[in-house]
Amino acid sequence: MKYFAVVSNRLDLDGAKLLQWHREKAGTIEQVHDIVKNDLGGGVLPSKYFGVNAAWMRIALLAHNVLVALKRIALPPELRSARPKRLRFEIFVQAGRLVSHARTLTLRLRLGVERLAQLVAAWRALLAPA
């Protein structure tokens, strides 16, 4: 015989709905562990000292939280499920050239008009008051 228990502080749900809510969460924490460990450097600790490693892990988790907030608040729907590597290539690292001409600096980006409009919209969404 096998028993299964769920301990929760969600008093607003009855037993069946609580079990359904718990089963919907299955697999999400494993994905977070995979992203933090493999994509954000949480799997390779930098030191033999516990405090340094704890700080490293906290920075990796903060980076994950910032990326999740960025995806939910500002990015277009097709990038909401993107992993950090794809975000790095799509958003954070863009090829461009800084041109100085007639006492002005101009940044020339190798982006399409649609992608540039998406980035400007994302920037405005981040600057908008909540």
Structural domain including 103 reads 95-130
User: How far apart are the C-alpha atoms of 94 and 111, rounded to whole Å?
Assistant: 8
Q: How far is CA 69 from the centre of its chain?
A: 6
Domain count, the chain: 2
Q: Report whether pLDDT(90) > 90.
A: no
52 and 35 in one domain? yes
* pLDDT number for residue 107: 87
74 and 31 in one domain? yes
User: How far apart are the C-alpha atoms of 71 and 75, rounded to whole Å?
Assistant: 5
* pLDDT number for residue 130: 65
What pTM was computed for the model? 0.69
116 and 81 in one domain? no
56 and 44 in one domain? yes
61 and 20 in one domain? yes
116 and 89 in one domain? no
- In contact, 95 and 110? CB cutoff 8 Å: yes
* pLDDT number for residue 99: 94
